Structure 1
Amino acid sequence: MTTRRTFMKGLAGGLAFCSCGMLDAASAQHHAPRRLPVMVSGKRIRTVDVHAHCLFHESLELMGDAVARILPPTKGQQEHFIVVENRLRSMDAMGIDMQVLSINPYWYGKDRDLSAKIVQINNEKLAELCASHPDRFAAFASLSLHHPDLAVQELEDAIKKKGLKGAAIGANVGGVDFANPKFHPVLAKAEELGATLFIHPYRLGELASRFKGNGWLANVVGNPLDTTIALQKLIFEGVLDKFPKLKVLSAHGGGYLPSYAPRSDHACFVSPQNCDPTIQLKKKPTEYLNQLYFDSLVFTPEALRHLVAQVGASQIMLGTDQPIPWEEHPVDHVFATESLNDSQKAAILGKNAAHLLDLKFS
């Protein structure tokens, strides 16, 4: 049986960084891997990856034997524990100037004191890493979102005292959508602080049995679906009207929502009995997509073209999911999208993120 001790012991000897992986078909045929610096129209672009992960041993150890279930069974698993020179080398090879680091929540459901300790360690370690390499790393804070009053304090501390850029939150919190009024104090504090909330899939427990079988459907289908539901709830529950200046950035291109968004505009016309008459949206559902932000992790130039057509190039930023090798050539992905003009490419590669997160480069 795998225990916390045997699991952590195994990790301790396996921190060598691996950037191996096959080039995607387009890059393999048409492009050499992009390297820093990245140029658009003869001008240097500071590229920013808003979707990159890490973990810290000190906080994981507080989870006891449950730690063995936290890391995904994937390539790149051990590289969550950043060896700085190796992560920087990988970023350079991909053409990434800066990564905005985040930690997927594994502490939801834990008691208040344990969750607070895990979050404290995570945020302190993130702040230390960013301070040591301010041109290369920024970060989204961890929050005890299942204890909303505590999360409000943690968010304020992370922004005002630690210099973090927002917070990474699960698309649901133990099966409860964060559009739920119980989380509104957190959303209000984020809006007040100008902090970005980065939505990452968490778990869709009620569908777990249907995801079993070949193909890792819990991730391939479940993760985009989780994000889709979270965004739709923000729209249809009137949350984005209540908090119009809230900055929401979602992983994996916003899941399925941008791919089939116009269906949302017809729902309450076709079936008014399934819509709450007390919630009167100020805009059509699809129009709210233009005030949300999305990473570019949609794999193909055609998918990126469609995402831009749906939400606007001003709302999209690079995302890799590193160290998990979902997208190893994010910059080439943007350059391969021939429908984009140079201004749009520059925006997606880094200018949008720099503006949204108030990033400073020396």
Structure 2
Amino acid sequence: MTTRRTFLKGAAASGIAFCSCGLLDAAHAQPKAQRLPVMVNGKRVKTIDVHSHCLFHEALDLLGPDKDKPLPPTKGQQEHFIGVEQRLKAMDAMAIDMEILSINPFWYGGDRDLAGQIVKVQNEKLAELCAAHPDRFGAFASLSLQFPDLAAQQLETAIKKQGLRGAAIGGSVLGEDFSDPKFHPVWAKAEELGAVLFVHPQSTPELGKRFKGNGWLSNTIGNPLDTTIALQHLIFEGTLDRFPGLKIIAAHGGGYLGSYAPRSDHACFVSPQNCNADIKLKKKPTEYLNQLYFDALVFTPEALRHLVAQVGASQVVLGTDHPIPWEEHPVDHVFATATLSDKQKAAILGGNAARLFGMKVA
């Protein structure tokens, strides 16, 4: 039987950092929310949130008059700029030992010089923060993906010199899909370095007109759709066959792919004229899901059960979107999924991420 976490207060460090993303699934929280340390079957588990965000004033200042545009119009907006002590208290309240921070790309439309400056500042700041609090923070590097040659250089610097864990990327670069050969040098570099790529969508701008109206559909539908399209192109265009060693995490449970993946296996049989006969995939489209990773930000135990059934418990990692209030009790969400074994719960809470990032966990 799963042992409940003890109710201990985590120690908070001091210092200043600027961060962003996730909190709101209290509906599925236990009567008393879990606190650190997290215990599963009597064993301590290090909980690792791969989906949390940061922003840095120094990087936004480079935008001049447009420096406020990257701020999300949501609850948690100002928490993108918070002190480390406050961030650690919030993590403790959610029973999160470590956050892997990322910054949603707002620089893809910039020229080479501006994008390069923004990325340089962000990666340096992320590296400083992680070095100061190595037990609590890791980070995904930012990349100037609109300039693939520069992005490959930035990734190498981030991994080899700055100690970052990989890189955060959008769902596309201004509508250009990652399966485009122009991006191959970046994926080749990521595969060579063993760098983890975190795909975080930026809505689906092409559908902006239809997203208008009530319900914040640009996010509610647009974000998971953007991720779904990105992953499907990587599969169907043969990119994952070309770079089989790529380590990819998809935000928000991977969008809609995990919910309706089997349709992909029938598409080219039903309509071969809409498929490229020159692209011969090495396995069924759904089988590629078992080499990708997905965060557990899917809100309900049933949704998490289904995701695990589709991709395997070994491919699911914890994600919150902190400090934006999507999931306040991410650990309780995993514990509440009764279909998971204790081994699977421990893996999703932190074991899978630790293995993926090559972390040593006691």
What is the Cα deviation at residue 22 of structure 1? 6.5
Please say which of residues 59-68 and 45-54 is displaced more in the overlay.
59-68
Q: Distance in 2 between matches of 1:223 and 1:340?
A: 27
The answer to whether structure 1 residue 321 and structure 2 residue 321 are counterparts is: yes
Q: Distance in 1 between matches of 2:58 and 2:257?
A: 37
What is the Cα deviation at residue 70 of structure 1? 1.1
The answer to whether structure 1 residue 310 and structure 2 residue 304 are counterparts is: no
Q: Residue 265 of structure 2 corresponds to which residue in structure 1? A: 265
What is the Cα deviation at residue 359 of structure 1? 2.2
What is the Cα deviation at residue 19 of structure 1? 11
The amino acid that maps onto 1:261 is A
State whether residues 22 and 324 of structure 2, in contact with CA within 8 Å, keep that contact through their aligned partners in structure 1: no
CA deviation map 1:175-228 (0-9, x unaligned): 111111100000000000000110000242211111111010000000000000
Structure 2 residue corresponding to 1:26, chosen from 25, 28, 36:
28
What is the Cα deviation at residue 287 of structure 1? 0.3
The amino acid that maps onto 1:25 is A
**37 and 67 in structure 1: CA distance in 2 versus 1, 3 angstrom threshold:** same
Q: Distance in 2 between matches of 1:295 and 1:82?
A: 24
Q: Residue 121 of structure 1 corresponds to which residue in structure 2? A: 121
Q: Which runs of 4+ in 1 moved over 3 A?
A: 15-23
The amino acid that maps onto 2:185 is P
CA deviation map 1:110-163 (0-9, x unaligned): 010110000000000000000000000000000000000000000000000000
The amino acid that maps onto 1:258 is G
Identity in percent: 71
- What SS class does the counterpart of residue 349 from structure 2 fall into? helix
Q: Residue 236 of structure 2 corresponds to which residue in structure 1? A: 236
State whether residues 249 and 292 of structure 1, in contact with CA within 8 Å, keep that contact through their aligned partners in structure 2: yes
State whether residues 135 and 360 of structure 1, in contact with CA within 8 Å, keep that contact through their aligned partners in structure 2: no
CA deviation map 1:281-303 (0-9, x unaligned): 00000000000000000000000
Q: Distance in 1 between matches of 2:311 and 2:348?
A: 12
State whether residues 135 and 361 of structure 1, in contact with CA within 8 Å, keep that contact through their aligned partners in structure 2: no
Gaps of 5+ in 2: 1-16
State whether residues 53 and 321 of structure 1, in contact with CA within 8 Å, keep that contact through their aligned partners in structure 2: yes
**148 and 258 in structure 1: CA distance in 2 versus 1, 3 angstrom threshold:** same
1:272-283 to 2 correspondences below 5 Å: 272-283=272-283
**249 and 16 in structure 1: CA distance in 2 versus 1, 3 angstrom threshold:** closer
Q: Residue 171 of structure 1 corresponds to which residue in structure 2? A: 171
The answer to whether structure 1 residue 86 and structure 2 residue 86 are counterparts is: yes
Q: Distance in 2 between matches of 1:102 and 1:165?
A: 10
State whether residues 60 and 68 of structure 2, in contact with CA within 8 Å, keep that contact through their aligned partners in structure 1: no
State whether residues 20 and 54 of structure 2, in contact with CA within 8 Å, keep that contact through their aligned partners in structure 1: no
Q: Residue 247 of structure 1 corresponds to which residue in structure 2? A: 247
1:341-360 to 2 correspondences below 5 Å: 341-360=341-360
What is the Cα deviation at residue 331 of structure 1? 0.1
Q: Residue 146 of structure 2 corresponds to which residue in structure 1? A: 146
CA deviation map 1:36-70 (0-9, x unaligned): 00000000000000000000000001112222221
Q: Residue 195 of structure 1 corresponds to which residue in structure 2? A: 195
**19 and 318 in structure 1: CA distance in 2 versus 1, 3 angstrom threshold:** closer
The amino acid that maps onto 1:24 is A
Q: Residue 6 of structure 1 corresponds to which residue in structure 2? A: none
- What SS class does the counterpart of residue 249 from structure 1 fall into? strand
Q: Distance in 2 between matches of 1:297 and 1:31?
A: 20
Q: Residue 101 of structure 1 corresponds to which residue in structure 2? A: 101
Which has more helix, going by share of residues? Answer: 1
Instruction: Give TM-score scaled by structure 1 length.
Output: 0.93
By relative contact order (CA 8 Å, sep 6+), the higher-ranking structure is 2
State whether residues 142 and 169 of structure 2, in contact with CA within 8 Å, keep that contact through their aligned partners in structure 1: yes
Q: Residue 299 of structure 1 corresponds to which residue in structure 2? A: 299
**249 and 23 in structure 1: CA distance in 2 versus 1, 3 angstrom threshold:** closer
The amino acid that maps onto 1:322 is H
What is the Cα deviation at residue 21 of structure 1? 7.3
State whether residues 22 and 328 of structure 2, in contact with CA within 8 Å, keep that contact through their aligned partners in structure 1: no
The amino acid that maps onto 1:248 is I
What is the Cα deviation at residue 361 of structure 1? 5.1
State whether residues 188 and 243 of structure 1, in contact with CA within 8 Å, keep that contact through their aligned partners in structure 2: yes
What is the Cα deviation at residue 17 of structure 1? 11
- What SS class does the counterpart of residue 245 from structure 2 fall into? coil
What is the Cα deviation at residue 257 of structure 1? 0.3
What is the Cα deviation at residue 33 of structure 1? 1.1
Please say which of residues 195-204 and 212-221 is displaced more in the overlay.
195-204
Gaps of 5+ in 1: 1-14
Q: Distance in 1 between matches of 2:141 and 2:33?
A: 31
Q: Distance in 1 between matches of 2:253 and 2:132?
A: 30
- What SS class does the counterpart of residue 248 from structure 1 fall into? strand
- What SS class does the counterpart of residue 69 from structure 1 fall into? coil
CA deviation map 1:60-97 (0-9, x unaligned): 01112222221111111011123100000010111100
